[in-house]
Amino acid sequence: MAALGSGLGISSLFTYNIGLFVPDLSQEIGLTRGQFGMAFFAATIAMAVALPVVGKIVDRHGARRPTVIGSTMLVVGFLFLGSVTQSVLSYFVLTAALGLFAVGSAPISYMRAVSVTFDRARGLALGLTQMGIGVSAALVPPVIAAVIAGSGWRWGYYALAGFAALGLVPALIGLRGRSAMPVPSGPEGPPLLSLPLFRHQLAAFVVMALAFAGFLPHFVPMLRDAGLSSSQAAAFAALIGIFVILSRIAIGWLADHVHAPWVAGAVCLLAAGGCLALLFGGAPLAPVAAAAFGCAMGAEADLVGFLTSRYFGTAVFGRAYALQYAGFMLAAGASPAWIGLLFDRTGSYAAALIVTSGLLGIAAILFVLMPRYQLSERPKDGDILSVQEEGSLP
């Protein structure tokens, strides 16, 4: 149910399908690629602002109600995009509003529920939960594309609203019982952002996202510049999605058996290797780069949730995960911009590949320097897992 709910929320239905409407909206309302990018980034900022609020609500009042409200708002938002969009301004406002009000349908509630329910196999459970997003990203876009081609872009949004409505089922049925209830807690302790360990983890994920996330939308144009046909480039891009799905399970399993920050550092180095493969090997090594980027993309959401639960416990998981993931989202939203600007300045992706490799190396160092945590001891309700770090929550 957690995987289904994650796959039918805003993180998958919005992120992986919104680009399908750009050609039709360009003809219908004159939407440019730059305006589309700004609208998408505005929605990302809105989600990042709202996520900590949702996280606090989930911690204090349980997971079910905010998820149901968020899924309902996602349905309403897609319906409005299909029926009300008449201009670039209306598109911009509706897209930003969708990110703000439908953020409750993000995986945060399911990640928290899984973290509360599972202990020793928590990494694998979180990986399977996030795999729902990858499966949705593979299956839903072809359906929406067919609807747009056959009935027009407005019906494409209505179809997305239908998928979002299905997301109410796991929210209503799956988020019941202890896993969906607030976790009893004592005094809240110091603000999370005041903790050195929290800022350390946040910095590691932000640098990681700022480095590699921007190459996902630039991957196909990069391969086209290298001489590949559109179909060949698209096939390699699809390989990224396959490795995203596979890595969700593999990284989750590894996190249960190996110190997770070491896994994160290895993933960063793997992605850096993919960048260097493209830089020095070009198109023939595109499959290597696709596999590396897919593993990195699949690892990030799993490891954010896993490390947050291990270092800060379940009592504040909603708030801690929301702040960590919001920072990751903002960095991921800004990443394509700096890569595009560097390409415009230099005329190629070579400089961006070098900078990305360096940033991923920094992220790997940050992860490796994170302290040990208790691997398989479940804390009592309200306790925070202790770590060997001064300034961590009591």
Chain centroid to Cα 171, Å, comes to: 19
Phi, psi of 373 (to 5 degrees): -135, 170
The amino acid present at 38, given as its one-letter code, is M
The tally of CA atoms less than 13 A away on the side-chain side of residue 202 is 18
What is the chain's mean pLDDT, rounded?
Answer: 79
d(CA 282, CA 269): 19
pLDDT digits (tens, 9 = 90+) for 97-111: 998 998 888 877 777
Region 264-269: what's the mean pLDDT?
A: 92
**Calpha distance 178→263 (Å, rounded):** 30
Ranges 80-89, 140-149, 228-237, 317-326, most confident: 80-89
Confidence band (pLDDT; 50, 70, 90) for 118?
low
Closest by CA to 154, choosing from 77, 95, 81, 73, is: 81
Give the CA angle between residues 322, 328, 332 to the nearest 5°: 140
Q: Which pairs count as long-range contacts for 148-157, CB under 8 Å and 24+ apart, including other chains? A: 148/20, 148/21, 148/24, 152/24, 153/21, 153/24, 153/25, 153/28, 153/82, 154/82, 154/83, 155/82, 156/20, 156/21, 156/82, 157/21, 157/78, 157/79, 157/81, 157/82
What average pLDDT score do residues 21-33 get?
82
For residue 119, name the pLDDT band (cuts at 50, 70, 90): low
Q: Alpha helices, DSSP H only, in the chain?
A: 2-7, 10-13, 22-29, 33-61, 64-83, 88-101, 108-117, 122-151, 153-166, 168-173, 196-212, 215-225, 230-257, 260-281, 286-312, 317-346, 350-368
Query: pLDDT at residue 231 above 60?
Result: yes
Binned at pLDDT 50, 70 and 90, residue 190 comes out as low
Q: Alpha-carbon distance 19 to 37, whole Å?
A: 10
Higher pLDDT, 56 or 384: 56
Find, among 217, 250, 215, the residue nearest to 353 by Cα.
215
Domains and CATH numbers, the chain: 1-182 (1.20.1250.20), 191-386 (1.20.1250.20)
Q: What is the pLDDT of residues 78-92, one digit of tens each?
A: 999 999 888 989 999
Question: Concatenated DSSP letters for 253-278?
Answer: HHHHHS-HHHHHHHHHHHHHHHHHHH
| Among candidate residues 271, 241, 3, the one with its CA nearest the CA of residue 124 | 3
pLDDT at 157 over 90: yes
What sign for the dihedral angle of Cα 88, 90, 93, 94? negative
Contact, 249 vs 121, CB < 8 A? no
pLDDT above 70 for 322: yes
Q: Percentage of the chain surpassing pLDDT 90? A: 18
Which residues make Cβ contacts (< 8 Å) with residue 164, sequence separation at least 6?
8, 9, 13, 71, 74, 75, 78, 105
Average pLDDT over residues 347-375: 89
Q: Helix or strand or coil: residue 373?
A: strand
Per-residue confidence band for 53, with pLDDT thresholds at 50, 70 and 90: confident
Using an 8 Å Cβ cutoff, are 125 and 47 in contact? no
